[in-house]
Each structure stands twice: as structure tokens, then as C-alpha cells.
């Protein structure tokens, strides 16, 4: 099931494939478009290809074949275009990727580095960047923590710092790789609510990888389901039925409706699978 293509996507991939050393196929040849202001969720089991696809969108994982095409900058086929694209494409990570000994404000200011040369970045940030960073902290409810070291903040607060850092880039696209996987359910809901609210207010396109079916249904404008290194579902959450869920979560089609729902709920909250996944190989 595939969403209809429109003439004005903000980001497209064409025949993109990713193969890791040893012949591990993380993404089979895939074409897909992302629309301006849309909140997209990549859904699937560990190893399905979610993180590989998401990280390919800014070449943190370099595709083996095919192209990533920015509506603003064109195909990401040289370093100049890639730098321009990355400046406007922010990342939110599962494990925050913050400098723990630095304050929340200093971490958020890291989001401004792409706007300055290497030598200029060695000097104190200009006042306009400082104002942007403080405003971003205020938007995630952490203005009063600006001068607090990050290692003194809770996990949820650290992730909000990560979102503020992403906002400081003034991006048109936010890529969030399992942003709530290390958080408790209550905090996870708050983080996703905040992220969707900010993206809606600013017209930012979001691509978010998740395991949790419940969160995908609640927050996504569009769900892109992956299984076995390929897209098996691409539509609005309302169109996600048990047959499609069985494809995403690799359940036998012969299961009853109740059995399918129970097994999928278990698998969608499972975080550690015994086999070595393509994502783990990528990180290694």
C-alpha cells in the first residue's frame, strides 16, 4: 500500500538501496517521497531497516545505490550540497548525543555550528545565535535549565535538550531515530507530543522511527511500515489493519484477529532481539 506521489515533495529517494559488509541487505531498492509539514513514522521490528532508511536521508548511512534528492538543494551527490542539506536537516537521537559536562545552553548552541566556518565556530557564538538557542530551550520548557550541566538533568529533560538543539538549526526537516526508546511510557508520550506540536507550529517535516505501534497510531500523519528491508505499508494510520500489521510484524496470516493483536502488541514493545540486526551491524 503506497501513498500517492505529489509534484512538490520536500525530500525524495529514488531506487535507494543499502547493503552492509558481508552482504547484509538493510534496504532493498526503494523509492518514496516525503511531503512538507508531514509527521512520518517509520514502523517495524528491530532490524527491519528503519534506522538505515532514516539515516540515509542525510547520508549518515551512505546508500549503496540510488539517490536522495532535496527539493531545495538537489541530489546529495557532492559535499557542498550535502553540507547545505544537513544544515537544514536536524537529527534527534535515541541516546541524545549530548556533551554531558556542558550546560544545556552550550549543547543547544551546537545546533548553530553549521552556519559558521570552522574558525568562526572557535569563538563565542554571536548574540543572534544565543537568542535562538535560548528561545529553543524555552519552547521545550527548559529555559530555567539553560546553565545546568546536562548530566544533572533527567533522561526526558536531556531528550528535550536534544530537540532544542535540533530546533536551533532552524530546520525544514527533523529526523528522529528511536527518540523515546530509552524513556519510560509517560515521558515518551510527553516527548512525542512536544515534538509533533513543534513540527506542526513550524511546518517542519518529521521522519521518526519507532517500535511502538500505539505511538505510531496516535502521532503519525503517515505510517511507513518496514519488514525484511523493504516498505510493506505506506498510508495514513486509519488504513493500518490487522493484515497490514501482520506484514510489518512478520506474523503468520493464519492467526486469528485476537492472536494477531496480542502478538503484535508484544513484538512492538520488544526492544532486544537475539539475532544481530542490520542496525547493530551499522553501529558496530
The 10 Å Cβ neighbour count of residue 258 is: 9
Band of pLDDT at residue 179, cut at 50, 70 and 90: very high
Average model confidence (pLDDT) across the chain? 86
Q: Which of 3-12, 70-79, 240-249 has the weakest average pLDDT?
A: 3-12
- Cell readout for 154 is 533527567
| 1-88+173-187+199-284 CATH, one of 3.30.450.20, 3.40.50.300, 3.40.50.2300, 1.10.600.10 | 3.40.50.300
Once rounded to an integer, what is the mean pLDDT over residues 70-79? 95
The 10 Å Cβ neighbour count of residue 274 is: 4
How many Å apart are CA 183 and CA 171, to the nearest integer? 25
pLDDT of 65: 96
pTM of this prediction?
Answer: 0.85
Domain boundaries, the chain: 1-88+173-187+199-284, 96-170
For 139-160, what is the mean pLDDT? Answer: 96
Residue 26: what pLDDT?
95
Rounded alpha-carbon distances, angstroms, from residue 79 to 16, 42, 216: 19, 27, 34
Q: What is the pLDDT of residue 267?
A: 53
> Ramachandran region of residue 277, left (φ > 0), alpha (ψ -120 to 50) or beta?
beta
Burial class (CB in 10 A: 0-12, 13-18, 19+), 103: middle
Which three three-digit cell numbers place residue 71?
527539493
Could you read off the pLDDT of 190-228 as tens digits, one per residue?
999 999 999 999 999 999 999 889 999 999 999 999 999
Amino acid at each position: 500500500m503506497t501513498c500517492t506521489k505529489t509534484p512538490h515533495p520536500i525530500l525524495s529517494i529514488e531506487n535507494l538501496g543499502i547493503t552492509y559488509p558481508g552482504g547484509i541487505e538493510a534496504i532493498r531498492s526503494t523509492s518514496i517521497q516525503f511531503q512538507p509539514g508531514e509527521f512520518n513514522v517509520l514502523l517495524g521490528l528491530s532490524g527491519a531497516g528503519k534506522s538505515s532508511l532514516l539515516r540515509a536521508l542525510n547520508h549518515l548511512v551512505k546508500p549503496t545505490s540510488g539517490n536522495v534528492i532535496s527539493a531545495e538543494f538537489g541530489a546529495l551527490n557532492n559535499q557542498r550540497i550535502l553540507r547545505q542539506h544537513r544544515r537544514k536537516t536536524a537529527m534527534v537521537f535515541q541516546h541524545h548525543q549530548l556533551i554531558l559536562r556542558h550546560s544545556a545552553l552550550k549543547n543547544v548552541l551546537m545546533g548553530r555550528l553549521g552556519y559558521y566556518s570552522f574558525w568562526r565556530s572557535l569563538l563565542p557564538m554571536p548574540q543572534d545565535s544565543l537568542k535562538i538557542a535560548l528561545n529553543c530551550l524555552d519552547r521545550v520548557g527548559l529555559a530555567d535549565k539553560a546553565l545546568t550541566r546536562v548530566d544533572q538533568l533527567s533522561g526526558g529533560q536531556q531528550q528535550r535538550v536534544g530537540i532544542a538543539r535540533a530546533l536551533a538549526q532552524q530546520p525544514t526537516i527533523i529526523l528522529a531515530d528511536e527518540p523515546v526508546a530509552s524513556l519510560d511510557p509517560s515521558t515518551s508520550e510527553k516527548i512525542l507530543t512536544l515534538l509533533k506540536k513543534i513540527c506542526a507550529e513550524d511546518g517542519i517535516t518529521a521522519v521518526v522511527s519507532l517500535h511502538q505501534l500505539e505511538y505510531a497510531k496516535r502521532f503519525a500523519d503517515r505510517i511507513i511500515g518496514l519488514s525484511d528491508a523493504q516498505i510493506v505499508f505506506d498510508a495514513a494510520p486509519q488504513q493500518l489493519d490487522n493484515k497490514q500489521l501482520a506484514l510489518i510484524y512478520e506474523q503468520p496470516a493464519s492467526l486469528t484477529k485476537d492472536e494477531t493483536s496480542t502478538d503484535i502488541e508484544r513484538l512492538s514493545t520488544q526492544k532486544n532481539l537475539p539475532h544481530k540486526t542490520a542496525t547493530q551491524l551499522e553501529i558496530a
